[in-house]
Amino acid sequence: MDNKTELREFLTSRRAKIQPEDYGLPAGGKRRVTGLRREELAALAGVSLSWYTRLERGNAVGASDAVLDAIARTLRLDEMERRHLFLLTRGVHSGAPKPVRRRSPALAVRATLQLVMDQMTQMPAVVQNGRGDIVAMNALGRALYTGLIAGSKGTLNHARYIHLDPESQRFYVDWDQMASYSVAMLHVAAGRNPHDKDLTGLIGELATASEDFRLRWAAHDLHEHQSGVKKIHHEIVGDMDLIYETLSLPGEGALSMFVYTAEPGSSSAHALRRLEAWRETTPALLIP
């Protein structure tokens, strides 16, 4: 994983999504590529073909904000994709010393933050970083993700659970969407932290072990969890539609807290209360 490769594959994948007819260009003839040709994109963006070709090959020297904005508009990138493009190009500097890959800081949160989470007795709460490592949980969070915990060896990681543990396909009712989101979130993390040795290792591990992961990775889609609903089948309490909100944690680096709840009076709310009761009556050894 490196920025040049990411930049090249990201631009190629996005160019393939734009059809000639989207810009009033003839779609007929012998087209050897899906979507726009390089020369068509360069002309529409108002840049030279040679310059755009260099950019798509991973050479971002001379890429001004105005030119990148023109390319982003032509490719019809959304705001997240635009930010990703800028991050990738800023991380590529021809002739600069090769950055040293560094391991991430130790997985921990402030004791006061853990204390706050522990007081949230009716809502599962989980803290994780950009590559999906679970850094902290409260008691109900551990009860919710007891299957993930039981099946993990070493660092708890959501991406590894989703792509390598068959149990995840039973746990997540909409597993296919969750798998795509997981890969897309790793792409976002790779754009932000291209020299994260642990992230590089995780992506390599998943790509080696899972063909499905490799296919999803090649799509170069992007996603950030903000809020929504997760459909879950828990082995103890059954199906739950859990509403989640993502909270950023200033002062904790790139960590985010995911807090879960359910619509009041719904079957999911009752299931969540049963999960809470199960946690309270189950010996701690049975909930890792």
pLDDT band for 4, please (50, 70, 90 cuts). confident
- Give me the pLDDT at residue 136, please: 94
3-state helix, strand, coil in the chain (%, to 5): 50, 15, 35
Length of the chain equals: 288
Query: Per the structure block, which two tokens stand in for 87?
Result: 């991050």
Q: What pTM value is reported for the model? A: 0.83
Q: What is the pLDDT of residues 172-205, one digit of tens each?
A: 999 999 999 999 999 999 888 888 889 999 999 9
Residues above pLDDT 70, as percent of the chain: 89
Q: What is the pLDDT of residues 22-46, one digit of tens each?
A: 888 887 667 777 788 899 999 999 9
- Give me the pLDDT at residue 6, please: 86
Secondary structure (DSSP) of 89-156:
HHT--TTSPPPPPBPPPPS---HHHHHHHHT-TTS-EEEE-TT-BEEEE-HHHHHHTHHHHHH--SS-
Nearest to 161 by CA among 109, 209, 196: 209
The DSSP secondary-structure symbol of 252 reads S
- Give me the pLDDT at residue 287, please: 54
- Give me the pLDDT at residue 96, please: 46
Q: What is the pLDDT of residues 87-117, one digit of tens each?
A: 888 865 544 445 545 555 556 788 999 999 9
The one-letter amino acid at 255:
L
> Which domains does the chain possess?
3-90 (1.10.260.40), 111-286 (3.30.450.180)
- Give me the pLDDT at residue 134, please: 94
The one-letter amino acid at 104:
S
| CA dihedral angle for residue 11, residue 195, residue 160, residue 153, rounded to 10 degrees | 170
